[in-house]
Chains A and B, each alone.
Chain A
Amino acid sequence: MIEKNKGKWIGLGLGSIVVLFFMWGSVIWGLTKIDTQMVIDSFLHFDGSNEHIIIQDTRIPRSLIAAAVGASLAIAGAIMQGITNNPLASPSIFGVNAGASFFVVLGITAFGMTSLMSFTWLAFLGAALAVIIVYSLGTLGKDGLTPIKMTLAGAAIAALFSSMTQGMLTLNEQSLDQALFWLAGSVQGRDLDILAAVFPYILIGLVVSLLIGKQINVLAMGEDLAKGLGQKTWLIKVLAALTIVLLAGGAVAVAGPIGFIGIVIPHVARWMVGIDYRWVIPYSGMLGAVLLLIADIGARYIIMPAEVPVGVMTAFIGVPFFIYIARRGINE
């Protein structure tokens, strides 16, 4: 663990360089050989060649999307773990991704929606609905919010939304192909328009998340203590929920549900910088971006020339870690 603040700032600086390095790598590595000169040329004098088109239309969007989506999911997970004091909390386990996905698939299959903006709003709506349902179920009863109730509620809601999504797809086979690849979670084959449409919301989420770290530290000691210290806990929880919806919903709108980043990365971040959320949140964002960039680059090489959906890659990395956390026990 990095103890001193100075070390944490240096880590943040180095981490940002690593993010940029892999963003660069995401542009130049892959089936089509590309080098730095080509990337520069594609900006300065675009010649319509295959390589230039791939750089501009595929690789650069993919790199930016992987970084933004990875950071968003990881930060959403960190905030969820902080305010619920539950190491298993994450957008995928608590059904937020599933809720957002269901609404998008519902839009595609039942209402024939195709516009990016409508996807975005549907994803936000689904994510918000999942957050509200899981939180309400998790706090039901006299003993209030407990990690175990919340995890059960999350798992149930995630399963419910997933099966409803599958039901929608079986009923409407034409949309199956369109929805299926999206549902596996991928940062590939999306153009910059969709990122541009969602980015303002993700940006708001990122900024708020960086401002509420100190409040989350207080809330993580328990609701009674936070209230006793004079915190308006409802306000912090509403802000946190809004941030989770913007980040997780935005990420799903762009890339489909990608699991495990939201649960794994906050643990790695805490292992690096301790439990102060003023640090955990930026470190989660940085590490989440790196993990998704690496997973996406790896996805290109495993069964070349075909690609593995990146959601599958993150699951491969995430599952062993998830089991490790679960074995240490809830709320140990």
Chain B
Amino acid sequence: MDAIRTNALTLGYGEEDIIEELDLVIPKGKITVFIGGNGSGKSTLLRSLARLLKPKEGSVVLDGADIARTPTKKIAQKLSILPQSPVAPEGLTVLELVKQGRYPYQSWLNQWSEKDEKAVQRAMEVTGVKDLSERKVDSLSGGQRQRAWIAMNLAQDTDIILLDEPTTYLDLTHQIDILDLLSDLNEEENRTIVMVLHDINLACRYADHIVAISNKTIYHQGDPDTIVTPELVANVFGLRCQIMNDPHSGTPMCIPFSRGRRKKDASHARKMDA
């Protein structure tokens, strides 16, 4: 079962192509993570899946229909997106923010309903921001703020949630906190999650399916345990490294080679590799 698929998708700004003729399938009910270097087009691809960017060529298909031909509010009832580092207007409260998630269900005639209220309360409970509901979004810490934004996405009540680097600017504790929350949403509520992550080790821990993007197309995709190799990291990130099993999760872990200070340990590691 696929949640989203693309047909010969070509993306770009102006003359320059960023993604060329890509056929991609996002599996339903799984966590898919896009990885790739800076400027590889992973965020561009994610944005196009959420119809924030019009394809130059090709199409994005959601539930069997081209999203370019589907009413945008209908899409918003099936798929939500959290853009990278969103900024709330100064003075907006958490409750007001989360309520905006119900926008796709409202119209000029159809105003706030019982169902909307329930969805908002539930979204705040699940994300643990209920106690913060009257606080201003701009007064929250980075981690709390990101939870509030995710609550808005949840209020939208969609099967598919896309997130563009949801852990950027968060300290490690809060990165784990946000990813655990997303992992719970996937497992307990069977939501399809697609996100862009910078940290390959965290990507390996949380992803069911990794899509590695390089050279305007997919370099490789699949289960992190099988596809994440030193060769992949070298080709996608241009980084030499060693891949070990993460002692905590057993998933692949990338140990980059560098000219750091502790050369002795690095040579030791290389020996172990051999």
Contacts and interface: CB of A to CB of B under 8 A. Distances in A.
A142 B39 CA distance: 13
A227 B72 contact: yes
A86 to B, nearest CB: 11
A224 B52 contact: yes
Contact of A142 (B13, B77, B90): B13
Interface stretch (B78-86, B123-131, B243-251): B78-86
Contacts of A220: 89
B176 interface: no
A218 B76 CA distance: 14
Tier of interface size on chain B: 20 to 34
A274 B91 contact: yes
Contacts of A225: 83, 86
Interface stretch (A38-46, A56-64, A229-237, A283-291): A229-237
A232 B72 contact: yes
Contacts of A228: 50, 52, 76, 80-83
Given A85-B89, A275-B90, A332-B90, A227 B100 contact: no
Interface string B64-78: 000000001111110
A204 interface: no
Contact of B76 (A224, A230, A270, A276): A230
A222 interface: yes
B103 interface: yes
Contacts of B77: 230
Contacts of A217: 100
B89 A229 contact: no
Given A221-B100, A276-B96, A227 B52 contact: yes
A332 B138 CA distance: 10
Nearest to A331: B87
A232 B76 CA distance: 11
B27 to A, nearest CB: 22
B86 A227 contact: no
Contacts of B14: 142
Contact of A224 (B72, B74, B83): B83
B56 to A, nearest CB: 15
B101 interface: yes
B269 interface: no
A230 B75 contact: yes
A13 to B, nearest CB: 22
A230 B72 contact: yes
Contact of A229 (B76, B91, B92): B76
B51 interface: yes
B91 A270 contact: yes
A284 to B, nearest CB: 16
B89 A221 contact: yes
B58 interface: no
Interface string A195-238: 00000000000000000000001101110110111111000000
Interface of A: 85, 142, 217-218, 220-222, 224-225, 227-232, 270, 274-276, 332
18 contacts: A142-B14, A217-B100, A218-B100, A221-B97, A221-B100, A222-B86, A222-B87, A224-B52, A224-B81, A228-B76, A228-B81, A229-B103, A229-B104, A230-B73, A230-B74, A230-B75, A230-B104, A275-B90
Please give me the 5 A-B residue pairs with the lowest Cβ-Cβ distance, nearest first. Answer: A230-B76, A230-B73, A230-B104, A224-B83, A228-B81
